Homo-oligomer: A and B are copies of this chain.
């Protein structure tokens, strides 16, 4: 398995997919009660008429996507790696109880840092897919990553 650690490991077009995580109704309600208390996320009965049943907060899906990245073994960031932010975050389909999510990461672009010698900027596309291989969320990240030394 290729490890994505240093700048040189991120080659445009390279891609990997993580193992899966399953989302339960209890997970959806617990997250939303804390962070996104709206009835379609917290109240199964009310959600029936709003969204045809409980759906996960988009921020829950985003947080689970981070979990998939960090707990998957492909991505093992070098010390100092720093996420710069995310763009084009879109929620494409509802995530419902019992759904099983995986992250599919593709390297979109890389360039050497002009301000920080020995470092580079990478841009990755994150697509979170469900058990039917349907994208439920997409976004693009950029991060500054050290080059391999020696």
Number of interface residues of A (CB under 8 A): 28
Report the copy number of this chain in the oligomer.
2
Closest CB in chain B relative to A18 CB, distance in Å = 14
Known: A59-B59, A89-B89. A36 touches B66 (CB 8 A): yes
Give the interface of A toward B (CB within 8 A): 31, 34-38, 50, 57-60, 62-64, 66-67, 70-71, 79, 83-91
Q: Which residues of B contact A86 (CB under 8 A)?
A: 86, 89
Complex A-B: 13 CB contacts under 8 Å: A34-B67, A37-B67, A37-B71, A50-B79, A57-B63, A57-B66, A59-B63, A59-B66, A63-B63, A85-B88, A85-B89, A85-B91, A86-B86
C-alpha spacing A144/B67, complex, angstroms: 29
Q: Which residues of B contact A59 (CB under 8 A)?
A: 59, 62-63, 66
Q: Which residues of B contact A71 (CB under 8 A)?
A: 37
Q: Which residues of B contact A85 (CB under 8 A)?
A: 88-91
| In the complex, residue of chain B having the shortest beta-carbon distance to the beta carbon of A137 | B85
